[in-house]
Amino acid sequence: MSTIKLQISKSAISKLPVLWLILTATLPIQALAAEPWLLVSQSEALNSGQKITLEIIKPQAVNQWPDTLKMKLSGNDIHEEIILSANPPATDDKPRRTYVGLVSQHYAGVVRAELVDQSSNRLLLLAAIEDAGATQIVAATTPAAAATTPAAADSNQPTAKSNAAVVVIAKPGDVPALSANEPMYFLVGHSSERGANSRFQLSFKYRPFDPEGSIAGYAPFLSNLYFAYTQTTLWDWDGHSSPFRDTSYKPSLFYRWQHNVSQNGMAKVLPNELRSGIEHESNGQGGVDSRSLNTAFINPIWNFNVSGGRRFTFFPKFQYYLEKQDNPDIQRYRGYVDWQMRFGREDGLMLSGLYRAGTAGYNAGQLDLSYPISDRIFARTGAFVHLQLFSGYGETLLDYNKRSDTQLRIGFSIAR
């Protein structure tokens, strides 16, 4: 009995090298099987009832092309699965082929696309506003997919064939952690009060917690927390030594909510977006010229699509003064609300307005008119010719209680 056991043991031992060779040989096959499919989008409009055309590159381990593929589209809380059909049929030895599908849902802004039954990279399809005319969309693979898929760098990938402006209205999860907040511009003008002067503004917001990061995975609500900073300067060119008249520094911390507005019921009167937080504003000066205040604010945002691809946005900013020792009567000139609006096309003329009504009857108004001079506009950033008109009290924090001459300036902006 012991002899039989010994013979079995020797037999098993003799087979170990063979089993090891088989296991080793299967590892590359398994690795190839895990290689993702690569999706590359052509420049096609992503609108309801229209076709979407994709170039698809299959993994080397896959020998046969399927006649159809299932792809999931999701954006702005809208989801659907569409069937992609091969068009035209291609031989199995070709590394890529074209697939076409039909979109049934209405999308505006960034739409995610990925295969359902196969491992693939994720496309970010940048859809235009409905009825946006010549406005096009473009697509880019996510950075992670591009890094893990060498074929993404293939110079033979399709590129946009149209010279029309490309517009993207991105959700925060789709834009970089560091992005534009308020408009950014450099403008010049002349007035009898100041002579030649300029006004420029820098503004950004930063999302410290990535929606797909490890911290947001445990606490998803943190991905909607933002730090923002805005700096606005008035520069008197004609003054002695060309000084900066005043600079306003505004750091803020706010939380952002989104609401998927339904087409029916009371839900559609709720804002599309809501921001709430605290903000500090000061001019960085000392003595009698020191100005500073701390406020808490609520900023609801409503978007209304209009015919011709235009959009009207109404976004009042309601403020409560937490501290205003350097300027205790500022509410008499600024009031408690910044009434703000935008109207126009993201790929065309855009009009913005700001109105402040103080509690003592003092007021101020500002109009901004801009037009793009760049072909690509991503999340309100690009290159624009910019015209600005200001009239009323408090153009600077230093002069919050002084009325300025009506001032017209022209220049350029990179965010509007």
DSSP 248-295: EEEEEEEEEEE----SSSGGGGS-SEEEEEEEEEE----GGG--EEEE
On whether both 255 and 373 belong to a single domain, the answer is yes
On whether both 270 and 405 belong to a single domain, the answer is yes
Cβ(306)–Cβ(312) under 8 Å? yes
Look at 114-118, 122-126, 341-345 and tell me which has the smallest mean pLDDT: 122-126
pLDDT at 389 over 60: yes
CB atoms within 10 A of CB 12: 10
- Band the pLDDT of 358: cuts 50, 70, 90: very high
- Angle among Cα 7, 13, 14 to the nearest 5 degrees reads 90
pLDDT at 73: 87
pLDDT at 264 over 70: no
- Percentage of the residues of the chain whose pLDDT score is greater than 70: 72
For residue 18, being part of any structural domain is answered with no
For residue 151, being part of any structural domain is answered with no
For residue 20, being part of any structural domain is answered with no
For residue 172, being part of any structural domain is answered with no
Encoded tokens for 83:
């069937």
Indicate the SS3 state at residue 238: coil
Nearest-angstrom CA–CA distance, 209 and 253: 13
For residue 146, being part of any structural domain is answered with no
pLDDT at 2: 45
pLDDT at 277 over 80: yes
On whether both 99 and 222 belong to a single domain, the answer is no
pLDDT at 93 over 50: yes
On whether both 98 and 186 belong to a single domain, the answer is no
For residue 374, being part of any structural domain is answered with yes
Cβ(306)–Cβ(132) under 8 Å? no
Q: How many CA atoms does the CB half-sphere of 403 hold within 13 Å?
A: 11
pLDDT at 109 over 70: no
Mean pLDDT confidence for 13-19:
47
On whether both 226 and 320 belong to a single domain, the answer is yes
Nearest-angstrom CA–CA distance, 311 and 313: 6
On whether both 262 and 376 belong to a single domain, the answer is yes
Total domains in the fold of the chain: 2
Cβ(345)–Cβ(307) under 8 Å? no
- Angle among Cα 303, 307, 309 to the nearest 5 degrees reads 70
Look at 66-75, 181-190, 384-393 and tell me which has the smallest mean pLDDT: 66-75
On whether both 381 and 260 belong to a single domain, the answer is yes
On whether both 80 and 186 belong to a single domain, the answer is no
Which domain-ending residue is among 67, 94, 127? 127
Encoded tokens for 178:
């560091």
pLDDT at 47 over 80: no
DSSP assignment letter at 26 = H
For residue 399, being part of any structural domain is answered with yes
Going from the C-alpha of 149 to that of each of 5, 40, 110, 115, the distances in angstroms are 51, 12, 22, 15
Of the ranges 26-35, 89-98, 190-199, 316-325, the best mean pLDDT one: 316-325
414: Cβ contacts below 8 Å, ≥ 6 apart: 180, 184, 185, 381, 382, 383, 384
Cβ(57)–Cβ(152) under 8 Å? no
For residue 46, being part of any structural domain is answered with yes
- Band the pLDDT of 34: cuts 50, 70, 90: low
Cβ(362)–Cβ(331) under 8 Å? no
204: Cβ contacts below 8 Å, ≥ 6 apart: 178, 179, 180, 181, 228, 229
Average pLDDT, rounded, for the chain:
79
pLDDT at 16: 46
Which domain-ending residue is among 106, 127, 148? 127
What order of strands is seen across the sheet that includes strand 139-141?
Answer: 38-41, 51-57, 96-102, 78-86, 68-75, 109-115, 123-127, 139-141
* Backbone angles phi and psi of 17, in degrees to 5: -60, -40
On whether both 390 and 284 belong to a single domain, the answer is yes
On whether both 315 and 248 belong to a single domain, the answer is yes
What domain range is 76 assigned to?
Answer: 38-127
CATH number of the domain enclosing 60:
2.60.40.10
Q: In this structure, is the dihedral angle defined by the CA atoms of residues 57, 59, 61 and 67, taken in order, positive or negative? A: negative
pLDDT at 273 over 70: yes
Among the listed residues 288, 205, 279, the one whose alpha carbon sits nearest the alpha carbon of residue 248? 279
- Band the pLDDT of 43: cuts 50, 70, 90: low
CATH number of the domain enclosing 282:
2.40.230.10
pLDDT at 186: 98
Q: Tell whether omega for the bond before 88 is within 30 degrees of 0, i.e. cis.
A: yes
Which domain-ending residue is among 95, 111, 127? 127
On whether both 192 and 338 belong to a single domain, the answer is yes
DSSP of 127-189 = EPPTT-TT-B--EEE-HHHHHH-GGGG-TTS------S-EEE---GGGS-SEEE-S-EEEEEE
Nearest-angstrom CA–CA distance, 98 and 41: 10
Indicate the SS3 state at residue 366: strand
On whether both 301 and 406 belong to a single domain, the answer is yes
Q: In this structure, are strands 109-115 and 68-75 parallel, antiparallel, or unpaired?
A: antiparallel
